[in-house]
Amino acid sequence: MVSTVLRRVSARAEPLLPIADDELILGWRNSEWTGIAPFLEEDVAFSSIAQNEIGHARAIYQLVAEELGTTADELAFDRKPEDYRCSPFVELRLVPDWAKTIARHCLYEDADQRRIQELIEADDPEVAGLAAKIDREEVYHRMHAQMWFERLEDEPQFQEALEELRPLVDQRGEHLPEFEHLWQEMTEVRRSVAGATW
Amino acid sequence: MIYEVFRQERKGQAFAHAGSVEAPNEEFAEWYAREEFGRRGESVALWVVPREAVHEIDEFVDELGRNYHRVDGYPLKEKLKQARERAGTSADRRS
Amino acid sequence: MSAREDEFLEYVQSGGQVETTDWMPDDYRAKLIKFIEMHGNSELMGVLPEREWILRAPTLQRKLALTAKVQDEVGHSQLIYRVVSDLGKPREHCLDDLISGKSKFHNVFHYPTKTWGDVGVIAWLVDAAAIISQKALLKCSYAPYARIMKKICWEESFHILHGRDVILTMMNGTDAQRELVQEALDRWWGPLMQFHGNPIPAEDDPMYIWRIKSQGNGEARQQFLDGYVPQIWELGLTVSDPKLRKNDDGVWEFSEPDWDELKHVVTGHGPKTEERLGLRRTTRGETEWVRRVVLPEAA
In a domain, B83, yes or no: no
Nearest CB to A34; choose among C70, C176, C177: C70
What whole-number distance in Å separates Cα of residue A146 and Cα of residue A143?
Answer: 5
Q: Is the residue at C182 inside a domain?
A: yes
pLDDT in tens, C14-24: 999 999 999 99
Query: Considering the domain boundaries, does residue C6 fall inside one?
Result: no
Q: What is the number of CB-based contacts under 8 A between chain A and chain B?
A: 24
CATH number of C103's domain? 1.20.1260.10
Contact C239, C232 (CB under 8 A): yes
Domains: count for chain B: 1
How many other CB atoms are found less than 10 A from the CB of residue B58? Answer: 7
B36 is a domain residue? yes
Residue of A168, A21, A10, A26 whose CA lies nearest to A85? A21
The contacts of residue A99 (CB under 8 Å, 6+ apart) are A152, A155, A157, A158, A160, A161
Minimal CA–CA distance to C173: which of C239, C117, C132, C231?
C117
Residue C19's DSSP bridge partners are none
Position B69 in a domain: no
Q: Say how far apart CA C232 and CA C213 lie, in whole Å.
A: 27
Distance separating alpha carbons of residues C99 and C96, to the nearest angstrom: 6
> Residue C297: is its pLDDT beyond 80?
no
Task: Specify the pairing of strand B2-8 against strand B16-22.
Answer: antiparallel
Helix C143-171, helix C60-86: angle, nearest 10 = 160
Q: Is residue A162 part of a domain?
A: yes
Q: How confident is the model at residue A5 (pLDDT cuts 50, 70, 90)?
A: very low
Q: Which of B19-28, B59-68, C59-68, C250-259 has the lowest mean pLDDT?
A: B59-68
Mean pLDDT of C131-158: 96
Q: What is the CATH number of the domain that holds B11?
A: 3.10.20
Over residues A155-170, the pLDDT tens digits come to 999 999 999 999 999 8
Has residue B24 been placed in a domain? yes
Residue B85 lies in a domain: no
Give B8's strand partners.
B45
Cβ distance A151 to C174 less than 8 Å, yes or no, reads no
Which residues fall within 8 angstroms of residue C61, CB to CB, at 6 or more apart? none
The CATH number given to whatever domain includes residue A123 is: 1.20.1260.10
Residue ranges in chain B modelled with pLDDT below 50: none
Q: How many domains does chain A have?
A: 1
**Cβ–Cβ gap C170/A198 under 8 Å:** yes
Give the residue numbers spanning the domain of B37.
2-53
Domain hosting residue A124, numbered range: 3-180
| Confidence (pLDDT) at A4 | 46
Span C201-229, pLDDT tens digits: 989 999 999 999 999 999 999 999 999 99
pLDDT in tens, C76-107: 999 999 999 999 999 999 999 999 999 999 99
CB B22 within 8 A of CB A39: yes
- DSSP label of B78: H
- The string of pLDDT tens digits covering residues A90-130 is 999 999 999 999 999 999 999 999 999 999 999 999 999 99
The total number of structural domains that make up chain C: 1
ipTM of the complex: 0.95
Residue C276 to residue A178: CA distance in whole angstroms: 23
- Does residue A193 lie within any of the structural domains? no
Check: CB of residue C119 under 8 Å from CB of residue C182.
no
The chains found to touch C (3+ Cβ pairs under 8 angstroms) are A, B
B32 in any annotated domain: yes
Domain region containing C139? 19-92+99-294
Strand order in the sheet with B2-8: B16-22, B2-8, B45-50
Domain contains B26:
yes
- Classify residue A147: in a domain, yes or no: yes
Reported confidence tier of residue C142, pLDDT bands at 50, 70, 90: very high
Q: What is the mean pLDDT of chain A?
A: 94
**Residue C47: inside a domain, yes or no?**
yes
